[in-house]
Structure 1
Amino acid sequence: MNSLTQGLVLGGGHSGMLAATALARHLDSVTVIERDHYPAGPGHRKGVPQAHHGHLFVGGGVRAVESLLPGTTERLMAEGAHRMGLPEDSITLNAYGWQHRFPASHFMITCGRELLDWVIRDQALRNEKITVVEGADITELCGDARRVTGAVVRDQDGRTRQIDADLVVDARGRGSRLKQWFADQGHEVEEEVLDLRLRYVTRVFAPPPRTMKEFHAVFNLFSDPTVPGPVSNAVMLPIEGDRWMLTASGVRGGEPPTDDEGFLSHLHRLAHPLLAELIALTTPLTSAQVTRTTSNRRTYYERLDPWPDGLIVVGDALAAFNPIYGHGLSAAALGVVAMDQALDKHGLGDGAGRHAMRAVGTVADEPWQWATAQDIQYMDLEDDESNNLRSQMGDFVKTMMDAGPVQPVVSAALLDVHTLSAPQSSLQEPHVIAAIRRGARRPVLTGPPLTDAERAFLSSHAPK
């Protein structure tokens, strides 16, 4: 009789729950080790400090989660999350101008991170194969650089025990200590970091009654990062409970303050006063939440050769992104799907971890290239290396970005990539090139693309 197979997931957050779900398809049981204690329902956890800030869950990631946990989107919507059509439900200004609100070709889900985590966790833990050990930590991995066989776990009372596993998945996020473990084994892991040192400040507001129906939109106001001087941005999302979550960010002297007056002044410094006008109508519900944990960090575990069998890395432990692009949650979900597919293809025999690790790493490359190509634009304008990197975007990408706000085909192609629904190579498909050559289908906008109802709402609420 064959012995039972066991999986071990380090970290019980977004990536960990999805990884446990995938492993349960291939193994007899899965144990998840989580440092925190879960709240009974939607709630913040100490181990997810970025949960206080806005999160975009783009279409590619939503579909990945649905493939692992069918019904998740329906549950999110039932709890008050919003399905936003793109670009139809988006009011966006960036360095390339105001985006026309073409009919939706893509979508995203907007809600608080605590709701998203709770729904995914509840969905995952309905699987009887999955067990969570809360309030516990990993003291060391078992095995060596050739094979990982489990981990030593310390509970909240300080007691330790060893858990053996056929597959171990590191889903500990930015706090993973795996890189140091490899260093102790005598192996150096390649890593790239692009850190703009952006400051993020988030607050939640209650708009007047019916505002959410009149202004059912995601708001994005971005400075032109190639212009010398302060950069001040803001993104405002509808979330559950008929609330708006506004995350302001800045760099080069454009960092948002945390006090009421300073925060409002930041909104007035944006490229357009629309958000300042809307927030003036609201009631603040939370104090300012601040983070500087916004760096892009790519750890190339998949390049290690040999790779220890029995070990896989997913989520932020492998690739973490500047949250302004909304790729972290979705990239993690797509990575878990790639892991699942690799295990389907190659089985659980020798080399299973190596095959899965390479698959996960390949999926991480697309959002990494997209995020860093955008963030390079924010780097020090007087730095020669920054200018060299910036120039690598090339005329083609600039032409694409210039055309996106006014050309529906190009807009849809860019959203294909931005929502992680298609690779960047799709931007060079013949129908996209033809659309660029045809030129603009709409005039360049000189102000926000508001509907008649939205303009009437602003006019009716304007100070007398």
Structure 2
Amino acid sequence: MSRRAVVVGAGAAGMLAAAVLAGAGVEEVVVVDRDELPDGPRGRRGLPQGRHAHLLMAGGLAAMEEIVPGVSLRKRLLAAGAHEVSLGSGMLARTPEGWLRRWRREGPAMLTCTRALVDWTVRAAVLEHPAVRVREGTAVALTGSAGRVRGVRVSGPGGEADLDAGLVVDASGRGTRILAWLDGLGLPGVRTRTVDAGLVNASRLYRTPAGAERFPLTIVHADPYAARPGRSAMVMPVEGDRWLVSCGGTRGGEPPSDPDGFLRYTLGLPDPIVGRLISGAEPLTDVHLSRSTSNVRHYLEKAPHWPEGLVVLGDALGTFNPAYGQGMSVAAFGARVLGRELERAGRPDAPGLARRVLRGAARPVDAAWAVAVGQDVLYPATRGGGRPGIADRAVTAYTRRLTRAATGSFAAASALWDVTSMRTPPARMFHPSALLAALAGPPLPLLTGPPLTPGEREVLAGLDRTGG
């Protein structure tokens, strides 16, 4: 059996899988990617969402640190200019139920930076392992049979070649060809579900204004309960003394790509704070749009037959509306499952390993899917969602009640932070403390505006060119 493993895709999921394999003693790990990878934190063609806001949640970062030990990705990201933001005190967040308070007690933290910086930092750390190398090329087929995958056929500058492998990991993202590859092995019929709210993302980079370096991350969430298209916007600090401003609108409420329309869109939200902030900030780029935002789930773990030697992770297993900030963390959770199963099995070609990894990786995918689809199906023009059932409506009503309580209850807010940060599964919202908080409602009155400090009010007033 080959002591080589092949990973298809050099994004976060692929590089984390490569780190796991190298750490498990695989002699050679070849990461195949069709893009020429940049030698620094710059975007690349094969990542359609790369220009938009990405949040690295505490749960996902913890999994990454476990996968790449002795490196401290957190420290590397912070040293490169990423920002650490407390969910409890470091952000201004307007939910459909009102503004969340900022508490003196810290909540879990997330890192904010460009997706390019995350990918480059992870890739650079993983490539320090001598067993890992990247090969430019396009994976066009799996080799082997319905019983065992033996490798990958790669098309590159020198033509096509077969890479033999004891284990193949498909981490090729939204563009995965896994269904076609399985058909080629004689394994058709995998069930797939797509739920598409028609979200369009529009993003633009701005120079952080002087004096606003410590202004909190600011987000106006979309409202899935209003029976109209969802519309949102976020101002997020990123490396290089910049703000990344991302807007998102579901079908019928899409943001425009022209600068004036972009500003009008932010000012037309239920609270115009994002527009007021950027009206006096210096733009550094054009407005970039992206439409690759649907939720797509390949139920590979339910296939009646699965070949040995093939694992699927990350977006190739399930993709989510990027508005919920789950993708990188779910990819890390899947790679961690791979690592734990390799540790138990002792070798990458162990019988049943691929199926066990697939089933384990599906659990965090399902949790993220429930959160994303549970919201997206509520938008009126969503396609593929179906009508929410009684249980769905009950969960939605409870989530609204808990969110309303979180506007004035630390216990309720803590439950939401734990789930949002992906430190705990969604069941955390039904912990007795959260249930009591939801039943009691907010003990403090609803805020009439964002919870700004006096200094932050001065910054906002100084930037505002709208007369607001």
Q: TM-score, normalised by structure 2?
A: 0.93
In structure 1, the residue corresponding to 2:378 is in which secondary structure? helix
Paired letter, 1:430? P
Q: State the Cα RMSD in Å.
A: 2.0
Mapped contact 2:168–2:309 kept (Cα < 8 A): yes
- Pair 353,438 (structure 1): closer, same or farther in 2 beyond 3 Å: same
Query: What is the distance in 1 between the residues matched to 2:40 and 2:82?
Result: 15
Structure 1 residue 14 corresponds to structure 2 residue 12: yes
Query: Equivalent residue for 1:297?
Result: 296
Q: Which stretch shows the higher mean deviation, 229-238 or 83-92? A: 229-238
Query: Equivalent residue for 1:226?
Result: 225
**1:175-186 equivalence runs, <5 A:** 175-184=175-184, 185-186=186-187
Mapped contact 2:227–2:379 kept (Cα < 8 A): no
Q: Which stretch shows the higher mean deviation, 357-366 or 73-82? A: 357-366
Structure 1 position 435, deviation (Å): 2.9
Query: Equivalent residue for 2:108?
Result: 106
Instruction: Provide, for residues 310-348 of structure 1, a one-character-per-residue CA deviation record: whole Å limited to 9, x for no partner.
Output: 110001000111111110011111111011111212333
The correspondence for 2:417, drawn from 390, 409, 415, is 415
Mapped contact 2:198–2:382 kept (Cα < 8 A): no
Query: What is the distance in 2 between the residues matched to 1:177 and 1:382?
Result: 22
Structure 1 position 402, deviation (Å): 2.0
- Pair 252,139 (structure 1): closer, same or farther in 2 beyond 3 Å: closer
Query: What is the distance in 1 between the residues matched to 2:346 and 2:60?
Result: 25
Name structure 2 gaps, 5 residues minimum: none
Q: TM-score, normalised by structure 1?
A: 0.94
**1:97-246 equivalence runs, <5 A:** 97-102=98-103, 103-134=105-136, 136-157=137-158, 159-184=159-184, 185-213=186-214, 215=215, 217-246=216-245
Mapped contact 1:408–1:441 kept (Cα < 8 A): no
In structure 1, the residue corresponding to 2:36 is in which secondary structure? coil
- Pair 385,131 (structure 1): closer, same or farther in 2 beyond 3 Å: closer
Instruction: Provide, for residues 80-133 of structure 1, a one-character-per-residue CA deviation record: whole Å limited to 9, x for no partner.
Output: 000100031111112111111123211111001111111100000000011111
**1:252-291 equivalence runs, <5 A:** 252-291=251-290
Query: What is the distance in 2 between the residues matched to 1:180 and 1:78?
Result: 42
Mapped contact 2:150–2:167 kept (Cα < 8 A): yes
- Pair 6,448 (structure 1): closer, same or farther in 2 beyond 3 Å: same
Structure 1 residue 401 corresponds to structure 2 residue 403: yes
Mapped contact 2:376–2:382 kept (Cα < 8 A): no
Query: What is the distance in 2 between the residues matched to 1:230 and 1:362?
Result: 30
Query: What is the distance in 1 between the residues matched to 2:423 and 2:96?
Result: 23
Query: What is the distance in 2 between the residues matched to 1:384 and 1:164?
Result: 40
Query: Equivalent residue for 1:96?
Result: 97
Paired letter, 2:437? A
Identical amino acids, percent of aligned pairs: 35
Instruction: Provide, for residues 21-59 of structure 1, a one-character-per-residue CA deviation record: whole Å limited to 9, x for no partner.
Output: 001122222111111111121111111121111111111
Paired letter, 2:162? Q
Query: What is the distance in 2 between the residues matched to 1:381 and 1:31?
Result: 39
Query: What is the distance in 2 between the residues matched to 1:86 and 1:218?
Result: 10
Name structure 1 gaps, 5 residues minimum: none
Instruction: Provide, for residues 232-266 of structure 1, a one-character-per-residue CA deviation record: whole Å limited to 9, x for no partner.
Output: 21122100011111111113432111111111111
**1:48-127 equivalence runs, <5 A:** 48-69=47-68, 70-102=71-103, 103-127=105-129
